[in-house]
Amino acid sequence: MMSTLIKNSFREITVNHSLWKHEFLTRCRTDNLCLQDVQVLAVQMYKFSKEFNRILASILSCCQDEVAQLVILENLFDEMGQGDINQSHPELFRRFTRALGIDDKTLATLPPAPETLALIETYLRIPHQYGYLAALGAICYASEGIVSSLYTQLYTGIVGSAPFPKESLIFFEVHIDVDDSHAAKLAAVIEPHIVAMSEEDIKVKLAIVEAMDARVQFFNGIQRQISKYSQYNLFPDSLLLLNT
């Protein structure tokens, strides 16, 4: 059984990671975002968020453990609005982008940045490179386990940039409130299979680090785009005119 020490070693990777010192998150915490910054963030967050179902499905395809399969399916079911497509997480996010003045057609046309693609590809690669347990570790500790804290900081920056209808912010409120329970269920699945300094322990840690590093690069991409778009004063419709 995975000891508290091993669990903490996984958490320490995320708690002590450089992600939390990123300039963009610092700007969020200090209410130093403008509406145009949030538009850039929203487009790229959507590109990653809408792929999360595919990421979970990729892990499921590598998983032979029936208990783990059930937990993954429960997570996937929540992402899909528990059967109500109008409550699916991609649709909840589109409520936010519409409130930002970005219509669904424009949102679909805008391309993911290279850093966003790299984040998606990292999560899709991990189960095939390290196995389903390591992939669940990355989801548990570097995604679901940090999302409440991460989204709270993003939420602070977002609501400080402009007034938004409460309905448009449901995506963030759902993730701030719910994902800790997802993380707990995932940890319980991982727990029986991990021994300190074992091959699986090492793989989980590698997966967590790679996922966290990719998240830093994602925010580097946000900063890069903000600098470029600010230079040309192209927000939001004219984002199509520049190659991300």
How far apart CA 236 and CA 59 sit, in angstroms, is: 35
Over residues 198-237, the pLDDT tens digits come to 999 999 999 999 999 999 999 999 999 999 877 666 555 5
Q: Which of 63, 183, 74 is nearest to 126 (CA)?
A: 63
List CB contacts of 244: < 8 A, sequence separation 6 or more. Answer: 110, 111, 112, 113, 114, 221, 225
Integer angstrom CA distances of residue 116 from 28, 88, 131, 220? 19, 21, 23, 10
36-54 pLDDT per residue, tens: 999 999 999 999 999 999 9
Print pLDDT tens along the chain (244 aa).
Answer: 446 777 889 999 999 999 999 999 999 999 999 999 999 999 999 999 999 999 999 999 999 999 999 999 999 999 999 999 999 999 999 999 999 999 999 999 999 999 999 999 999 999 999 999 999 999 999 999 999 999 999 999 999 999 999 999 999 999 887 656 788 889 999 988 888 779 999 999 999 999 999 999 999 999 999 998 776 665 555 554 444 4
Element (H, E) at 159: helix 145-161
pTM: 0.91
CB neighbour list of residue 164: distance below 8 Å, 6 or more residues apart: 96, 99, 158
Domain boundaries, given as residue ranges, for the chain: 4-231
- Among residues 191, 168, 171, the alpha carbon closest in space to that of 179 is found at 171
CATH node for 4-231 = 1.20.910.10
User: CB count, 10 Å around CB of 123?
Assistant: 25
CB 157 within 8 Å of CB 150 = no
